[in-house]
Structure 1
Amino acid sequence: MYSEEVFKRRNELGGCIEVICGSMFSGKTEELIRRVNRARIAKVQVEIFSPVADTRYDKSSVVSHNLNSIPSVPVSKSADILPLADHIQVVGIDEAQFFDDNLPEVCLQLANSGVRVIVAGLDMDFKGRPFGSMPQIMAMAESVTKLHAVCVKCGSQAMYSYRLVPDDSKILLGEKESYEARCRKCYNLDGSI
Structure 2
Amino acid sequence: MFIEPSLAGGRRGWIEVICGSMFSGKTEELIRRLKRARIANLKVEIFKPAVDTRYDEMNIVSHDENSIRSTPIENSQQILLLAQEVDVVAIDEAQFFDAELPNVCDQLALRGIRVIIAGLDMDFAGNPFGPMPALLAKGEYITKLHAICVKCGHIANFSYRKSQTKDTLLLGEKDLYEPRCRHCYYEEQ
TM-score, length basis structure 1: 0.93
Structure 2 CA distance for partners of 1:105 and 1:187, relative to 1, 3 Å? same
Aligned to 1:170: 168
Report the equivalent of 1:68: 66
Task: Give the superposition deviation at 1:10.
Answer: 6.9
* Residue in structure 1 matched with residue 91 of structure 2 by the alignment: 93
- In the aligned structure 2, how far is the partner of 1:10 from the partner of 1:32? 27
Give the alignment partner of residue 186 of structure 1, picking from 179, 184, 187.
Answer: 184
Alpha-carbon separation, structure 1, partners of 2:58 and 2:10: 30
What runs of 5+ residues in structure 1 fail to find an aligned partner? 1-6
The residue matched to 2:95 in structure 1 has which SS?
helix
Taking a change above 3 Å as real, the CA distance of residues 37 and 9 of structure 1, as seen in their structure-2 partners, is farther
Q: Distance in 2 between matches of 1:170 and 1:178?
A: 13
Asked whether 1:46 is paired with 2:48, we answer: no
For these two proteins, the number of residue pairs brought into alignment is 185
2:110 is the counterpart of 1:112: yes
Task: For residue 81 of structure 1, give the secondary structure of its aligned residue in structure 2.
Answer: helix
Identity of aligned residues (%): 59
Q: Is the 8 A contact 2:151 2:180 kept in 1?
A: yes
CA distance in 2, matches of 1:10, 1:166: 53
Residue 50 of structure 2 aligns with an amino acid whose one-letter code is: V
| Alignment partner, residue 139 of structure 1 | 137
> Matched residue of 2:175: which SS?
coil
1 CA distance for matches of 2:47 and 2:6?
Answer: 23
User: TM-score under structure 2 normalisation?
Assistant: 0.95
Please give the alpha-carbon distance, in whole angstroms, between the structure 1 residues aligned to 2:115 and 2:97. Answer: 15
1:56-114 C-alpha deviation (Å, 9 max, x unpaired): 01111000000000000000100000111011110000000000111001000000110
Instruction: Report the Cα distance in structure 1 between the residues aligned to 2:140 and 2:32, rounded to whole angstroms.
Output: 19
